[in-house]
Structure 1
Amino acid sequence: MIIRNVTAIDGQGSTPIADAEVVVTDGRFSAIRSAADAPAAADGTSVLDARGGYLVPGLWESHTHLGGFAYSKPENERAKYISQLLTDFLSAGVTSVVDLGGPLELELAAREYRAKATDAAAGLFFAGPVFTGIQGWPVLDDPARAPIAYQTDNADVAHRQALELADQVDFIKCIYDGEPGAPDKLPLDALKAIVAAAHEKGKKVLVHVHERIDLEEAVASGADGIEHAFQPQNPGSTAEARDIAALLSETNTYYCPTLVTWEQIAHNGDAAYLQRLVDDGHATLNDIPQITSRPIYGREFPRHSPQDSHIRFDYAMHTLALMHDAGVKITAGSDVAILMPTPPAALLRELYLLAKAGLPLPAVLAAGTRHSAEKTGQEATNPAMITVGAPADALLLDANPYTDIAHLTDRSHHIGTMRSGRPSWDASHPQT
């Protein structure tokens, strides 16, 4: 298949190729070139006129929890429900989804279900159960949540469990959150043992943190990625952010702030916030009754207060640009969708917030594509770029995403998606 009359944006910062010809062969990009340099199409080749659109790499959701959404369904329907969520993600331009913690059996079942499905959907990568302390987050004192985590206070046990788990998952997730020495916090020696085991198996380790010291100890332990913007000790100073930026840049550690998580928790129950989502194009008035009818609406989120979430959100919004300027590789993940119409809408909101925080638009696209692939160790097989040899995962837009973030995050600008060379285009952009 050949895509013509398109501007190709590779996602790695190169100058976009206007009036390009993009060739897809056996589900991969086989050529990206100027139309002026292109030979005539061979007989029988399918040619798509993109009508002046912009082709960007398919988006990645690098931090979500599909199992959490599925648990509202009967057990025998959960794998099918996750499959439907992956289809919904694809329709929103998201070609790869990272489930960053959930029951291993459910995630394996979802992958098996997708292997047999014939409809198009986003690809799935998962961590399986997370590592945490005894009754630590997210288990706390709820026995029903036990399958989503290994609760440990022993480094040797954690090392053995991590070695076993690494053979079944795509990467490993640790929760390093809590008071030092408290039973609910994963011990530092256990964190180091888990990282060592995962790296022995060639798998990345992503670490959920709370405060600066958690982040620093996670990086010192060899973490490949940090999940969540940290809680500053002094919200009025950027000094902590500058120190953390230097550390993350020096160690090439990825940073996923999950801005939309803290924004939602901080504003849960706030009708004015829902109106802001409508005004920003991330919800409709028709979505609001469904959102406000959810059991979580207006209730305090476990472990994270609205006040602390406000601080984390505001500080991250104030300091992410300086982190980017320092060379930190930022990734896009939404985590929760408690006030969003859908999980895919949460990721699009996250990309919008990254731009609002001052990241240049090419950096926002990198956060939602190649940095997320790299963070999870998938760059060798799926670099999340429009480059020769990469899987043909792409999003076709009708306007330039480098001039306005809305061109990427407002679905009215989405013409269609392509997953492994399989296009799903609007009828007004036919193939010939």
Structure 2
Amino acid sequence: MKLASGTTVITNGTLVDGNGGPPVRDAALVIRDGRISFAGPVREAPPAEPDATRIDARGGTIMPGLVEAHFHPTYFNVAALEDLDIKYPVEYVTLLAAANAKLALECGYTAARSGGSLFNIDVWLKKAIEGDLCPGPRLAASGREICGVGGLMDWNPDFRKIGMDGLVLLVNGADEARSAVRKLVKDGGEWVKTYPTGDAAAPDTNDHHTLCMTFEEMHAVVSTAHNHKLKVTGHCRATEGIKNALRAGYDAIEHGTFIDDEGLELLLKRDVPCVPALYFELASVERGPEFRLPQRVIDGHRETLEGGAESARKILKAGGRLGMGGDYGFGWNPHGDYARELSFFVKYVGFSPLEVITCATRTGAEIMGRGSEFGTLEPGKLGDVLVVDGDVLADISVLEDRTRFIAVMQGGVVKAGQMK
């Protein structure tokens, strides 16, 4: 991904640098050759070159680009299980993924970590984005996911003889778990996404209190992935599944819905980040009837919603790290609504806007393993910036309205927004 050349100066706005500190009123941000050279009060800014590009923040907010930490680029208006793996040919799903990536960037998300992808489309999507062939967030890819046979992601009946290989690698025992990871290594991903637990979506077989992988399978995944320098995360709702993942050496936890005190201690001891991904649960409860979700499924999502909100509060209060992002791409939770996650954490969970922005910028970059490159507005970091016409700290829902974005920048290049 090319960096901008020359100098860009952004002024007339409040700087929210992503580190969680007090905002800087009447601030300036200077980007030289794609990297930040100054971030602070305008009175302290160095003199700008006469030919510098100038961006007026219009009294709004200058902040880091957002990080979508649980991104499913190949999901598209999913309303039934077959929509996830067999509805469309892989060629069309690839085009849909590219469209979703472009939309995410237009929504202010300059980076994203894949939470799983049909085939290894996200691996090639990342290459296309980095080669400036198509616009999208800086991407951490994971490709296909791993789940135990008969678990949450094993839904195609055996008589169809089509398996789940396009979306999920199914394993039975530690040896098969190691083999699955080796396939993902060959595919070129950076993260291994697993399913240690079930979900409210499958109340009859694998609900949100069931386990879908054994500890031995999970440990085999971790040891093999780490040997090849890949990181491991997992869909963890059930309490024992969360603790199994942490004991096995997972690098991140998705959801962490029903974490107990022992699990919290394990999480804090290793400083493992968690991505709650909770707005999906609220959307499932509120819009479930519209999409004819069974009442048992809606009730399960309501329990998951409340348990997940409480767990998120516990983790943040205890000093743990949370990323922002969640299962967008369902009919009731479509791509483009990513910032609703941020509003939800303020209005429903009770976080402050500053806490949420820190989770959605600095922590997201840390989860991607790229905290030294972006996620905060500091000298030396990439000029991945979001300039918003509005006070985000006064009303975080402004981030849901991309017509309010003055500029979405990657490496100092304006990729979206009114300045594009």
TM range (shorter): 0.7 to 0.9
Are residue 33 (structure 1) and residue 33 (structure 2) matched?
no
Within-5 A mapping of 1:2-401 = 2-69=9-76, 73-115=88-130, 117-118=132-133, 120-141=135-156, 143=162, 145-163=164-182, 165-166=184-185, 168-177=188-197, 185-231=212-258, 241-270=260-289, 297-300=291-294, 305-340=297-332, 342-345=334-337, 347-356=338-347, 357-380=349-372, 382-401=373-392
1:4-61 deviation per Cα after TM superposition (whole angstroms, max 9, x unaligned): 2232211011232222221212322122232212232223222222222211111111
**2-side partners of 1:195 and 1:170: how far apart?**
13
Assess if the C-alpha contact under 8 Å between 1:261 and 1:337 holds in 2: no
TM-score norm. by structure 1 comes to 0.81
Q: 2:80 corresponds to which residue?
A: none
Secondary structure of the structure 2 residue equivalent to 1:147: coil
**1-side partners of 2:266 and 2:300: how far apart?**
24
Structure 2 residue runs without a partner (length 5+): 1-7, 77-83, 199-205
Structure 1 residue 190 displacement after superposition: 1.7
Q: 1:277 corresponds to which residue?
A: none
Secondary structure of the structure 2 residue equivalent to 1:219: helix
* Alignment-mate amino acid for residue 193 of structure 1: A
Q: 2:202 corresponds to which residue?
A: none
* Alignment-mate amino acid for residue 44 of structure 1: D
Assess if the C-alpha contact under 8 Å between 1:63 and 1:335 holds in 2: yes
Distance 1:325 1:255, change over 3 A: same
Assess if the C-alpha contact under 8 Å between 2:146 and 2:193 holds in 1: yes
Distance 1:85 1:265, change over 3 A: same
Secondary structure of the structure 1 residue equivalent to 2:58: strand
Total equivalences in the alignment:
390
Assess if the C-alpha contact under 8 Å between 2:384 and 2:410 holds in 1: yes
1:335-391 deviation per Cα after TM superposition (whole angstroms, max 9, x unaligned): 14434473120x2111111112011222211221221222232324x3311112222
Secondary structure of the structure 2 residue equivalent to 1:68: coil
Assess if the C-alpha contact under 8 Å between 1:133 and 1:184 holds in 2: no
How large is the Cα RMSD of the aligned pairs? 2.8
Structure 1 residue 322 displacement after superposition: 3.1
Distance 1:398 1:190, change over 3 A: same
Structure 1 residue runs without a partner (length 5+): 232-239, 272-296
Assess if the C-alpha contact under 8 Å between 1:203 and 1:377 holds in 2: no
Structure 1 residue 140 displacement after superposition: 2.3
Structure 1 residue 74 displacement after superposition: 4.5
Distance 1:355 1:202, change over 3 A: same
Secondary structure of the structure 1 residue equivalent to 2:75: helix
* Alignment-mate amino acid for residue 167 of structure 2: I
* Alignment-mate amino acid for residue 166 of structure 2: P
Distance 1:151 1:50, change over 3 A: same
Aligned residues: percent identity?
A: 23
* Alignment-mate amino acid for residue 189 of structure 2: V
Secondary structure of the structure 1 residue equivalent to 2:94: helix
TM-score norm. by structure 2 comes to 0.83
**2-side partners of 1:323 and 1:418: how far apart?**
31
Secondary structure of the structure 1 residue equivalent to 2:38: strand
Secondary structure of the structure 2 residue equivalent to 1:23: strand
**1-side partners of 2:143 and 2:416: how far apart?**
33
**2-side partners of 1:342 and 1:309: how far apart?**
17
**1-side partners of 2:263 and 2:176: how far apart?**
31
**2-side partners of 1:67 and 1:424: how far apart?**
22
Distance 1:75 1:322, change over 3 A: closer
